[in-house]
Amino acid sequence: MAFPPEFLDEIRARIPVSDVTGKRVALKRRGREHVGLSPFKAEKTPSFTVNDEKGFYHCFSTGEHGDVFTFLMKTEGLSFPEAVERLATQAGLEVPRETPQARERAERNKSLHDVVEAAAVYFEECLWGPRGRAARDYLMGRGLDEAVIRRFRLGYAPDGGLLRRALKDKGIEDGAMIEAGLLRRPDDGREPYAFFRDRAIFPITDRRGRAIAFGGRQMGDAKAAKYINSPDTPLFDKGRTLYNLANARAAAHDRGRLIAAEGYMDVIALARAGLPEAVAPLGTALTEAQIEAMWRLAPEPVVCFDGDEAGRRAAYRAVERVMPILKAGVSLQFAILPEGEDPDSLLASSGPTALGTLIDRAKPLGEMLWEMETGAQPADTPERRANIRKNLLDQVRRIADRTVQQYYFDDMEARLFAAFQRPRGQRGAGSARGQGTGAQGAGHLRSQGNIEALSGKWEPAFLAAVLRHPELLDDCAEDLGVRRFNWPELDKLRQEIINVSGSGLDSTGLQRHLRETGYSSLLDRVLGRDVYEAAPFCDPRKTIDEVRNDWRAAWDSYWRRGARAELDDDARALGEDMTAERWSRLAAKKREIQRSGPEDQEHEQEALAGPETG
């Protein structure tokens, strides 16, 4: 059976070679490749290499070489159709069945590639000829030199019927040009006319670098859209295609990063700035298919849109599109340019360093979601704060992956608490319950009456004790590693401490590392006098043995209080909706609380007590 080349390309794009070979070979990363022992012969020194970027494996000891299909055929004795069917199932694709129509379609697509390529060559010739002077001046006026123009194969589509005549001279008929999106046939029966007229041309390619469509920028004063793209064709699906994907693949692989800009000129500007790992959607907001295509090249692509209202709206639409398809290990980041700037203008005004720095400091998706729902919303009444919370959590509920969804609930609840807590001294009796934000994240502490006295007091104290006595990490690293703090800035510090917990740093070395990593001001606050006066177990005058015992008691009590608050919430929820899942969760929390005996609770009270007076 003959499979359409586009179908086989889609499988190769969705399944890296290392995923297939890694099931039979223990692979280790080495630069841009993976290496391991040959699956084709016994050996002690690795000679088997896998290159995901190029889509092949090679065994130096046997000479075996191939792609994902070849590997299954060589190692499992499958026929080519069997290998295709297995990998198609793994990729979530339906195998096309061979029919006369399918064969005819494959042949037609092959010829359409030739048609589009012939048009691309013609547009290039026109740009460098007399008719393309205005377009050439425009492109060079935007800072593009001849080398860049030729690298991106930019061209010019002249007015009138010149393209049609030029392709007819090559034996290409009107029907093929119409099917390729190059001509339009009027409804009134007149002669077909060119889709692109008097426009600078930007060829759009598939993953393999073959021209499949075009974008065009208006040159004259006609009242037409400034930018247009080819209509959808058998070769071109606008919602699934990214401009410059073929060129960006190698750079994205090498750098571990992909940038999504708004349009053709932005991508070219980024390449000129030394950032060739850039792609762009084609005149629409990023689609789910385009986001997933980017994830195959980089786990957290950076969305870099213009610094105007339209650019911000496009970034917010990307947030809404990505939420339902989020998965562990993949996300988006956002680099919003200054007001009124695009990559091209920022490059011209401030240089490549400014543009690169802005992209390096891209915001995570959670921060962009927070900004989207709170940025322009007043939060000066309980009703308005409740509405912000509802909108935020409604967005989080759209995440299909339950684990990722839970972490987003935690993050948003912590942000809500930090943003909406009332200043010290203005909170009346019982008001903390009114400030509660639910059973997740910071909200689960609401029944303690004074949230600030819990999160704001104990979380800095736990870290202060570890910073003064890193030996504590031998006992408490696991606890710190699995419990997220309610205060986002402290949680980042907690994570960094865990990251270096096995390095053997003493207190001075640990603090020096954290200050060099950007936590200097936060460390000053955590190690300040007010922290250990409020939580004496982290007093710098205490010995390591004293701190170790009191740290454990304080930690257990702090999180047990949260469990009791969650128990109250779950009991109320069980009364409203009696389900087996809610009952199991309630019973588990009861057992967790009951595990602490009276002696433990008495020890906790001693550890949590304030300094003695008198």
In tens, the pLDDT along 341-365 reads 888 888 888 888 888 888 989 999 9
Q: What is the mean pLDDT of residues 572-585?
A: 52
In this structure, is residue 76 part of a structural domain?
yes
pLDDT recorded at residue 590: 52
Q: What is the CATH number of the domain that holds 11?
A: 3.90.580.10
Task: Let me know if 450 is exposed, middle or buried by CB neighbors in 10 A (0-12, 13-18, 19+).
Answer: middle
Q: How many domains does the chain have?
A: 4
CA-closest candidate to residue 525, choices 493, 554, 483, 502: 493
Q: Is this prediction's pTM over 0.85?
A: no
In this predicted structure, which of 64-68, 77-81, 208-212, 456-460 has the lowest mean pLDDT?
456-460
pLDDT recorded at residue 157: 96
Half-sphere exposure at residue 40, Cβ-oriented, CA atoms within 13 angstroms: 20
**DSSP class of residue 172?**
-
CA-closest candidate to residue 263, choices 282, 246, 244: 282
pLDDT recorded at residue 53: 78
Q: What is the mean pLDDT of residues 529-545?
A: 82
Q: Is the same domain home to 171 and 280?
A: no
Q: What is the sign, positive or negative, of the torsion defined by CA atoms of 286, 291, 293, 296?
A: positive
Q: What is the mean pLDDT of residues 326-352?
A: 88
Q: Is the same domain home to 452 and 556?
A: yes
Could you tell me if 127 and 250 are in contact, meaning their C-beta atoms sit under 8 angstroms apart? no
pLDDT recorded at residue 100: 60
In this structure, is residue 262 part of a structural domain?
yes
Q: Write the CA distances from 489 to 253, 494, 521, 525, integer angstroms.
A: 31, 9, 11, 12
pLDDT band at 612 (very low <50, low <70, confident <90, very high): very low
In this predicted structure, which of 96-110, 195-209, 458-472, 561-575 has the lowest mean pLDDT?
561-575
Task: Inform me whether the pLDDT recorded for 604 exceeds 50.
Answer: no
* Cα pseudo-dihedral 105, 111, 115, 118, rounded to 10: 160
Can you tell me whether residue 240 is helix, strand or coil? Answer: helix
In this structure, is residue 255 part of a structural domain?
yes
Can you tell me whether residue 276 is helix, strand or coil? Answer: coil
More confident residue, 416 or 32: 416
* Strand stretches in 496-608, DSSP E: none
Q: How far apart are CA 253 and CA 153, in angstroms?
A: 23
Task: Inform me whether the pLDDT recorded for 512 exceeds 70.
Answer: yes
Angle, helices 80-91/68-76, rounded to nearest 10 degrees:
120
pLDDT band at 576 (very low <50, low <70, confident <90, very high): low
Token pair of 522 as six digits = 């936060």
**DSSP class of residue 439?**
S
Q: Which domain holds residue 196?
A: 100-236
In this structure, is residue 416 part of a structural domain?
no
Report the helix count and the strand count for the chain, using DSSP H and E: 28, 16
- Write the Ramachandran bin of 244: left for phi over 0, alpha for psi from -120 to 50, otherwise beta: left
Task: Inform me whether the pLDDT recorded for 222 exceeds 70.
Answer: no
pLDDT band at 424 (very low <50, low <70, confident <90, very high): very low
| Domain end (from 316, 336, 370) | 370
pLDDT recorded at residue 49: 94
Token pair of 572 as six digits = 């109320």
Q: Is the same domain home to 472 and 525?
A: yes
Q: Is the same domain home to 469 and 597?
A: yes
Nearest 5°: the CA angle 529, 531, 533 is 70
What value does the mean pLDDT of the chain take? 81
Condensed to tens digits (0 to 9), the pLDDT of residues 275-289 reads: 999 999 987 789 999
Q: Is the same domain home to 477 and 588?
A: yes
According to the per-residue pLDDT averaged within each range, which of 90-104, 356-370, 411-425 is highest? 356-370
Q: How far apart are CA 217 and CA 225, in angstroms?
A: 8
pLDDT recorded at residue 309: 86
Strand-pairing partners, residue 34, are: 29, 50
More confident residue, 340 or 368: 368
Q: How far apart are CA 412 and CA 392, in angstroms?
A: 7
pLDDT recorded at residue 259: 95
Q: How far apart are CA 17 and CA 71, in angstroms?
A: 9
Condensed to tens digits (0 to 9), the pLDDT of residues 241-254 reads: 999 999 998 788 77
The identity of residue 166, as a single letter, is: A
In this structure, is residue 401 part of a structural domain?
no
More confident residue, 6 or 412: 412
Q: Is the same domain home to 175 and 290?
A: no
Q: What is the CATH number of the domain that holds 142?
A: 3.90.980.10
In this structure, is residue 176 part of a structural domain?
yes
In this structure, is residue 417 part of a structural domain?
no
| Domain end (from 210, 236, 262) | 236
Task: Inform me whether the pLDDT recorded for 27 exceeds 60.
Answer: yes
Q: Is the same domain home to 68 and 173?
A: no
Q: Write the CA distances from 314 to 58, 261, 370, 432, integer angstroms.
A: 43, 11, 16, 38
More confident residue, 105 or 181: 181
pLDDT recorded at residue 570: 53
pLDDT recorded at residue 155: 97
Task: Inform me whether the pLDDT recorded for 433 exceeds 50.
Answer: no
Can you tell me whether residue 160 is helix, strand or coil? Answer: coil
Pairing assessment for the beta strands 259-260 and 302-303 based on DSSP bridges: parallel
Q: What is the mean pLDDT of residues 261-270?
A: 92
Q: How far apart are CA 131 and CA 250, in angstroms?
A: 35
Q: What is the mean pLDDT of residues 489-506?
A: 82
Can you tell me whether residue 268 is helix, strand or coil? Answer: helix
Q: How far apart are CA 179 and CA 551, in angstroms?
A: 72
Q: Is the same domain home to 193 and 292?
A: no
Could you tell me if 323 and 395 are in contact, meaning their C-beta atoms sit under 8 angstroms apart? yes
| Domain end (from 206, 236, 266) | 236
Q: How far apart are CA 452 and CA 525, in angstroms?
A: 15
Condensed to tens digits (0 to 9), the pLDDT of residues 462-478 reads: 899 999 999 888 878 87
pLDDT recorded at residue 456: 55
First to last CA, the chain: 91
Q: What is the mean pLDDT of residues 490-509?
A: 83
Task: Inform me whether the pLDDT recorded for 87 exceeds 70.
Answer: yes
Q: Is the same domain home to 137 and 213?
A: yes
Q: Is the same domain home to 509 and 589?
A: yes
pLDDT band at 579 (very low <50, low <70, confident <90, very high): low
In this structure, is residue 379 part of a structural domain?
no
The identity of residue 584, as a single letter, is: S
Q: Is the same domain home to 324 and 362?
A: yes
pLDDT band at 321 (very low <50, low <70, confident <90, very high): very high
Q: What is the CATH number of the domain that holds 276?
A: 3.40.1360.10
Neighbours of 210 (CB within 10 A): 15
Task: Inform me whether the pLDDT recorded for 339 exceeds 60.
Answer: yes
More confident residue, 489 or 561: 489
Q: How far apart are CA 437 and CA 383, in angstroms?
A: 13
More confident residue, 606 or 230: 230
Token pair of 32 as six digits = 């841009």
Q: Is the same domain home to 358 and 502?
A: no
Percent of the chain with pLDDT over 90: 37
